[in-house]
Amino acid sequence: MQDIIAFLTQAGIPLPDDLNWLATLIGFAIVGFAWVIGWIVSWLAGRHLRGAWEKVAGQRAEGLGPRMVKLIYHGTVSIVLAIAFFAMDWWTFTDLIVGAGWGLCAGYFVWHFARAVNFSRWVALSSGVFTFGLVLTNAVGSLDRVSFVLDRIGITIGDNRISLLTVLIIAVTALALFAIVRIVRRIIAHSIKSSSGLDPAQKLLVEKIATVAVMVAAFFVGIDILGIDLTALAFFGGALGLAVGFGMQKTVGNLIAGIILLMDRSIKPGDVIEVGESFGWVNKIGVRAVSIITRDGKEHLIPNEILMTEEVVNWSYSSRDVRVHIEVGVSYECDIRVAQGLMREAAEESPRVLNSPKPLVWLLEFGDSAVIFDIRCWIRDPESGVGNMKSDVLMRVWDKFKENNIPIPFPQRDVHIKEWPGKDSAVLATPPAAPAAKDDA
C-alpha cells in the first residue's frame, strides 16, 4: 500500500488525512468493477453455456439450466474479487469491503448451485450462509483463530479425535461430492439414452453400472481428500461382510438378480409380463425390484429374485404381436357358416385387431347346448389391455347376430317325472276339496 500512496503523491493527487475513507472508496470501487465484469461475462456467455448444458444433459437439465446465468454472474464476481483480494496487501477497510462482497457472491453462488442440484431449501440456505461466513472470516484474518476454536471442541475415541472442525469438513466434502455426482449422473444418463446402438435394457444396465462407478469413485476421492486411512475401515468391512451374509442376503440377491435380468434382456422396460396374479407392463427395473403398472393404474413392485426363480409370462419378449382367443357359442338351429362369417367380420372391424395375420374363426367343439367357436386374432399393443379388446369384438358380434337373427343359446334342462314314489299319481293330480262351510243354525 505504501507504493500506491507514493504513486498517488507523486501524481499530485491530494490524499485525505484519514486514509480510512480512501480505503473504503477503493473497496467499493473494486466491488463495483467486479460486478460490472460479472454482468458482462454472464450476458455474453450465459445463454451459450445454458444451451450447451441443455444439449449435454437433455431432459435432465432442469434446475441447473435456468440458473446458469446467475451462476456465471456470481461465480465471475467471486473470482474477480478473490483475485483482487490476494493481489495486494490492502488496507483493513478495503479487505473488509472486498471480503464482504466476495463472500456475498460466493454464498449466492453456492445457494443457486445447491438448488440447481435439487438440494432442499434449508440445505442450500445453510450452505450459502456457511460460505459467506467462511469467506468473510478469511477476509478479516480470523480464519485461523476460528479453526483453532472449532478444533478444540470435540471428543477423543481411542486414538482418534473427532472435533467440530472435522465434522464440518466432512459435511462440506460430502455435500460437494454429492452435488458433483448428481451432475455427472445427469450427463451420463442423457448420453446413454441418446445412444442409438443400445436397446432399452442395455441402456439401463450401462446407466446403472456407470452410476455405481461414479459413486465408488466419489467415495474414494472423498476418502483421499479427508485423509482417512483405509486400514481403519478393516473392522467395518468385516462387519459389513457379516451383515451381508446373514441379514442382507435377500437384498444382495435382488441386486444381482436385477443385473442378470438387464444383462440377458429377458425382461426390458416396456415389456408386458404376467407374474402370478400381476399383469401389466414393466415401468422400471430397479436395484431391488421391478415396477409393473397394471391396467388399473396400480404399481406392483416385484422383487428381482422372484422374476429369476418363478415362471414369468413375457407377452412381448421376442415380438409385440400377441394372439387373443375369444370363445363364442351359437345355437344348433342357426346356420353356423353364416355365424362364422359374421364373427370374422366383427373381428376384422375391431380397430386394434391386425389385418396381417388375418383373424380366424375355428369351430372348437359341439357343446351341451351350443356350438362353440374360437375367434383368434392378433394385436400389437398388449400394454393397452386385452379385456377391452375382447369386449369390443364381442359387442360387434352381438350387434351382427341381432341383425341376422343368430340366437346365442343358454343352458336349458328338461325334467321328466315318470313316477312319484309312495303316492298315487291320480291323487296327486286331483287338488284337495275345500272344507264344507258350517251351518250357523
Flag whether 212 is in a domain.
no
Q: Which of 275, 290, 318 is the last residue of a domain?
A: 318
Q: Are residues 48 and 137 in the same domain?
A: yes
- In three state form, how does the secondary structure of the chain look? CHHHHHHHHHCCCCCCCCHHHHHHHHHHHHHHHHHHHHHHHHHHHHHHHHHHHHHHHHHHHCCCCCCHHHHHHHHHHHHHHHHHHHHCCCCHHHHHHHHHHHHHHHHHHHHHHHHHCCCCHHHHHHHHHHHHHHHHHHHCCCHHHHHHHHHHCEEEECCEEEEHHHHHHHHHHHHHHHHHHHHHHHHHHHHHHCCCCCCHHHHHHHHHHHHHHHHHHHHHHHHHHHCCCHHHHHHHHHHHHHHHHHCCHHHHHHHHHHHHHHHHCCCCCCCEEEECCEEEEEEEECCCEEEEEECCCCEEEEEHHHHHHCCCEECCCCCCCEEEEEEEEECCCCCHHHHHHHHHHHHHHCCCCCCCCCCEEEEEEECCCCEEEEEEEEECCHHHCCHHHHHHHHHHHHHHHHHCCCCCCCCCCCCCCCCCCCCCHHHHHCCCCCCCCCCCC
Question: Are 14 and 60 found together in one domain?
Answer: yes
The helix-helix angle for 143-152 and 164-193 (nearest 10°) equals 100
Which CATH number is 312's domain given? 2.30.30.60
- Tell whether 351 and 248 lie within a shared domain: no
In a domain, 396, yes or no: yes
Looking at the structure, do residues 118 and 248 belong to the same domain, yes or no?
Answer: no
Question: 314 and 330 in one domain?
Answer: no
The model's pTM is: 0.51
Last residue of a domain, which of 89, 118, 141? 141
Whether 161 is covered by a domain: the verdict is: no
Residue 438 lies in a domain: no
| Domain membership flag for residue 301 | yes
Mean pLDDT per block of 10 residues along the chain (441 residues) reads: 54 52 79 88 78 65 70 86 80 79 87 82 85 82 74 71 77 84 79 70 74 82 73 62 65 76 76 82 80 82 83 78 89 90 92 90 89 91 83 93 87 74 54 51 37
* pLDDT for 361: 92
Listed in sequence order, the residues at least 6 apart from 356 whose beta carbon sits closer than 8 Å to its beta carbon are none
The verdict on 78 and 124 lying in the same domain is yes
Regarding whether 328 and 282 lie in a shared domain, the answer is: no
pLDDT at residue 114, as a whole number = 85
Give phi and psi for 299, each to the nearest 5. Answer: -110, 115
Structural domain count, the chain: 3
pLDDT at residue number 424: 54
In the prediction, which pLDDT does 440 show?
A: 45
SS (H, E, C) 201-231: HHHHHHHHHHHHHHHHHHHHHHHHHHCCCHH
Does residue 22 fall inside a structural domain? yes
Instruction: Quote the domain boundaries for residue 337.
Output: 322-403
Domain shared by 244 and 359, yes or no: no
Do 125 and 255 sit in the same domain of this protein?
no
Residues 62 and 90 in one domain: yes
Residue 276 lies in a domain: yes
Task: Say if residue 371 is in the same domain as residue 340.
Answer: yes
Shared domain for 263 and 363, answered yes or no, is no
302 falls within a domain:
yes
